[in-house]
Structure 1
Amino acid sequence: MAAPDYWAARFAVSHLVAITYLLGFVSALRQFRGLLGERGLTPIPRFLAHVPFRTSPSLFHLHYSDRFFAGVCWVGVLGSVLALFADLAPLWAWLVLWTVLWALYLSIVNVGQVWYSFGWESLLLEAGFLAIFLGPAEIAPPTLVLWLLTWLLFRVEFGAGLIKMRGDACWRDLTALYYHHETQPMPGPLSRWFHWLPRPLHKTEVLANHFTQLVVPFLLFAPQPVASAAGLVVVATQGWLMLSGNFAWLNLLTITLAFSTMSLPRAGPAAGLPPWFAALVLVLAVVFAVLSYWPVRNMLGKRQVMNRSFNKLHLGNTYGAFGSITRTRYEVVVQGAADVDAEWREYGFKGKPGDPNRRPPQVAPYHLRLDWLMWFLALSPTYGRTWLPALVEALLRNDDQVLRLLRHNPFPDRPPLLIRADLYRYRFATRAEHRETGAFWIRTRVGDFVPPLTLDDLV
């Protein structure tokens, strides 16, 4: 039941999960007022009035205020920092601390609505729940928990591999990366460099991706040292993805899970598991064996879906991303005008492309939720039906909480009279174009997305 040679794996997994929790709570603290607060784009109180606890279990069903939400975030931040030192704690304190972190973040995700609909939120909750049962340094890591972490990694990688092969033909003909670096949700500083790599290298990248996601996951369960080598392949691949784009903490968590496969002999004996804790771990394994029915059925089914939670506790989820690749990048550019005759001024977002002369920033592993939703919005206006009108109204009022989500407000002194949004096609500047103009993007206006609106139009 115990695996003393995996002490380093436990250390890496627990510390990286704690860091990811810290990122999650800090992200929530800095962004919730504009997105989910009492005056946010999709207020939590309005959500709680229509969704019962059994449908979306959360601490906030007991009480909600912006101050209380901030307090929960601060407790989560403190708890995440303490978790970095939890190896020194007794077993009971470890269990309490990690359970509190999971329950607090679950409470946030379950009221987070569209802003928390990303697969890495469920991945953090599932990895964080399993971390509860890893235990501190005073005992050897439980073997079954390490296997469950490996099984979670398998679902992340193999699910992503299957959705690609079943989805867009560009994954099968190896041309996906002709487009992906340019059209991904949040390009990073090196994405343009990756985009202009020779096309034969792009095909090699896709082949390597298929090998990592469709073959390597089975090797994670092989005897050592094969399992450790497979884990290192996952780490290398995820590191490559971190360099080529911004995917919040998805890559960080996948690397975290890969460490669970790696053994390192320790000097000296490690204490075995207390009988009551060993029984608890056994119950955990049985529960996850039952929960695994749904993701396995999904992966084996012809109509595989990606990033789906089958229960409101976000345990036993199915994963996968980028089953389809967009060939052309569109961006929604939001502008305001002081009056009907004034020039239109552009709002700047923190992460998403806007100013063509601005280098795409490095954002990950932090998560900019509004910026990500703006990418989806450019794909279809339906993605903004619950929050886009509220965003327009907030900009017309110069709402300070919403404006804090942006990088640049062109109307710092008084609100604009008019707000509009235009749709632009973006592409990466070639090397020659960049040398000549300094631009990272070349953009072309496509048409209106939201017509000019005043506050009176929204009544």
Structure 2
Amino acid sequence: MDWFAAPDYWLSRLLVQRMLAGLYLIGFLATAAQFRALIGADGMLPVPRFTGRVPFRQSPGLFHLHYSDRFFAAVAWTGAAVAAALVAGLGDAVPLWASPLPWAVLWVLYLSIVNVGQTWYSFGWESLLLEAGFLAAFLGNADTAPPALVLWLMRWLVFRVEFGAGLIKIRGDSCWRDLTCLRYHHETQPMPGPLSWFFHHLPDPLHRVEVAANHFVQLVVPVCLFLPQPVATYAACLVVATQLWLIASGNFAWLNWLTITLALAAVEPARLGLPVHPRGYPAAPAWYEALVIALTTAVAVLSYWPARNLLSRRQIMNRSFNRLHLVNTYGAFGSINRIRQEVVVEGTDEAVVTAHTVWREYGFKGKPGDVRRLPRQYAPYHLRLDWLMWFAGISPAYARPWFLPFVARLLAGDPATLRLLRHNPFPDAPPTHVRATLHLYRFTDWRELRETGAWWHRTALYEYLPPVDLPALTRAGYRPPLGRRVRSVPLDRLRRPRDGRGHGNGRA
């Protein structure tokens, strides 16, 4: 059927599938490298404890059937291997009937991880990766023309990502309406990048232009994705350009790269002077057409809930309306922090803590710490602990389920936890005590940078967690990693951290 096939989009399909597979590869590699300390059997929020209290129907996945760290690692590395094969062209090397299978494997494996990932996997880009991967399974391969319906479903997905983010801003913080949010955002975003300092110091009129342009691209341009060509192609190019600007200005995991990938589904390559496919395609099999039509019908039905959410004055962001993370609602940064609060974690090897105790600071890979260290670029790789430390600075209540288990693992010298950090000040033996202090961070100005070489200026605000040792945490219910001996050292009073000041945007 002529309406079914979109042969002119062959290059768009190729780019979407290969780039999406690459992002799955990064997601699985990040999981394999970080899961033991975060959600492993001996992690801060262990999967077995989660599956013991949450039934399969609420978090479907493989780990309700069996869990061990070895099995979890096998799942992550299998996903990485399948994703790498898709990047290399596996989808085009198999018959059309088999081409959805590798994508189905990726989706099932990553869904299993996300559904037991708890706080560490509770952000919008996880659901977005799952939804995009599910749609990609129906894009076909080189044996048939790209199905127009699936390309339209991807436009609908980009629309929800961009339009949802635009609405949550307009309905949220007043600084989005008066065009002042970017006076603060480059400095207070969860994980600044190497250019964030320079973006922060742009003239204020340019910050206002940034906000106004953001509103245009997120509230007007998404509608144009559904208009005839070449308008849809140009709209997609504007989305891509905006996402590249965001990539340059900060670290947002794979959210921006995934949005770029999906936007390419609206690009008709010939409109940009790119080559047309050199040969024709055979007609699509009837079973394939029926499969795509069934998918389109299912997405149309499931779209009721995100569409209703977009129209609601009480719009929520980043919500999955089903346990399979299909046809979700998205949004980001409905409110903006005016100040940056960072939790600085330190340890000492002294047996007794006194006023003269020397404390040594732990260094994180992406989270601001050393004031002379320029922030690094990590996205699309996702540093989950660093990202959650930003929330810890905003609200200790949000961090309470995992922060004290994190401290317990520092006190035990847990290798899996220490691998998440950039710098361990106790390479020979774990510290006797760990403490945390809340600091106010701000970017230095040009003069301060020249005189001190520091990118940040920080001021201690108050004690976030008083000095604590491993026996105290053990008695409070935070067990050390298995096989780690609890040393007998003097105890300090354990106190729950007080709520911090400032306000955040919720989940990005």
Tell me which interval the TM-score lies in, with the shorter structure as reference length.
over 0.9
Residues paired across the two proteins, number: 459
Counterpart amino acid of residue 403 in structure 1: L
CA-to-aligned-CA distance 1:369-419 (integer Å, 9 cap, x gap): 000000001000011121111011111111111111111111111111111
Trace 1:336-347 onto structure 2 (pairs within 5 A): 336-339=347-350, 340-341=353-354, 342-347=357-362
2:165 alignment counterpart = 160
Q: Tell me, in whole angstroms, the C-alpha distance in 2 between the residues paired with 1:159 and 1:238.
A: 15
Q: 1:419 and 2:434 equivalent?
A: yes
Runs of 4+ in 1 over 2 A off after TM superposition: 264-268
Per the TM alignment, residue 456 of structure 1 is displaced from its structure 2 partner at its CA by 2.3
Q: Tell me, in whole angstroms, the C-alpha distance in 2 between the residues paired with 1:433 and 1:47.
A: 48
What is the aligned counterpart of 1:53 among 38, 52, 56?
56
Counterpart amino acid of residue 385 in structure 2: L
Q: Tell me, in whole angstroms, the C-alpha distance in 2 between the residues paired with 1:272 and 1:353.
A: 55
1:361 alignment counterpart = 376
Q: Tell me, in whole angstroms, the C-alpha distance in 2 between the residues paired with 1:8 and 1:220.
A: 18
> What stretches of structure 1 of length at least 5 have no aligned partner?
none
CA-to-aligned-CA distance 1:14-47 (integer Å, 9 cap, x gap): 0111000001000000000010111110111111
Per the TM alignment, residue 254 of structure 1 is displaced from its structure 2 partner at its CA by 0.3
2:394 alignment counterpart = 379
What is the aligned counterpart of 2:222 among 217, 223, 226?
217
Counterpart amino acid of residue 170 in structure 2: M
Q: Tell me, in whole angstroms, the C-alpha distance in 2 between the residues paired with 1:61 and 1:306.
A: 28
Q: Tell me, in whole angstroms, the C-alpha distance in 2 between the residues paired with 1:346 and 1:87.
A: 50
3-state SS in 1 of match to 2:56: coil
Q: Tell me, in whole angstroms, the C-alpha distance in 2 between the residues paired with 1:271 and 1:443.
A: 64
Q: Tell me, in whole angstroms, the C-alpha distance in 1 between the residues paired with 2:81 and 2:306.
A: 33
CA-to-aligned-CA distance 1:71-129 (integer Å, 9 cap, x gap): 11111011001112122321122111110111000010001000000100000000000
Q: 1:397 and 2:412 equivalent?
A: yes
Q: Tell me, in whole angstroms, the C-alpha distance in 1 between the residues paired with 2:313 and 2:278.
A: 49
TM-score, length of structure 1 as denominator length: 0.99
Q: 1:147 and 2:152 equivalent?
A: yes
CA-to-aligned-CA distance 1:424-457 (integer Å, 9 cap, x gap): 0000011110111110100000011011111222
3-state SS in 2 of match to 1:298: helix
TM-score, length of structure 2 as denominator length: 0.90
Query: What is the root-mean-square deviation in Å for CA atoms of aligned residues?
Result: 0.8
Q: Tell me, in whole angstroms, the C-alpha distance in 1 between the residues paired with 2:282 and 2:263.
A: 25
Trace 1:102-117 onto structure 2 (pairs within 5 A): 102-117=107-122
Q: 1:277 and 2:288 equivalent?
A: yes
Q: 1:20 and 2:35 equivalent?
A: no
2:199 alignment counterpart = 194
3-state SS in 1 of match to 2:435: strand
1:62 alignment counterpart = 65
1:352 alignment counterpart = 367
Q: Tell me, in whole angstroms, the C-alpha distance in 1 between the residues paired with 2:62 and 2:279.
A: 43
Counterpart amino acid of residue 82 in structure 1: A
Counterpart amino acid of residue 288 in structure 1: V
> What stretches of structure 2 of length at least 5 have no aligned partner?
270-275, 476-508
Q: Tell me, in whole angstroms, the C-alpha distance in 1 between the residues paired with 2:329 and 2:436.
A: 35
Counterpart amino acid of residue 147 in structure 2: P
1:34 alignment counterpart = 37
Name whichever of 290-299 and 79-88 sits farther off. Answer: 79-88
Q: 1:433 and 2:448 equivalent?
A: yes
What is the aligned counterpart of 1:320 among 318, 331, 334?
331
CA-to-aligned-CA distance 1:160-210 (integer Å, 9 cap, x gap): 000000000000000010000000000000000000000000000111000
Name whichever of 174-183 and 394-403 sits farther off. Answer: 394-403
Q: Tell me, in whole angstroms, the C-alpha distance in 1 between the residues paired with 2:19 and 2:279.
A: 25
What is the aligned counterpart of 1:43 among 43, 46, 58?
46
What is the aligned counterpart of 1:79 among 72, 79, 82?
82
Q: Tell me, in whole angstroms, the C-alpha distance in 2 between the residues paired with 1:89 and 1:192.
A: 48
Name whichever of 326-335 and 78-87 sits farther off. Answer: 78-87
Q: 1:373–1:383: 8 Å Cα contact kept in structure 2?
A: no
What is the aligned counterpart of 1:332 among 343, 351, 360?
343
Q: Tell me, in whole angstroms, the C-alpha distance in 1 between the residues paired with 2:102 and 2:432.
A: 50
3-state SS in 2 of match to 1:386: helix
Per the TM alignment, residue 268 of structure 1 is displaced from its structure 2 partner at its CA by 2.5
CA-to-aligned-CA distance 1:333-364 (integer Å, 9 cap, x gap): 00001112530000001100000000000010
Per the TM alignment, residue 266 of structure 1 is displaced from its structure 2 partner at its CA by 2.5
Q: 1:260 and 2:265 equivalent?
A: yes
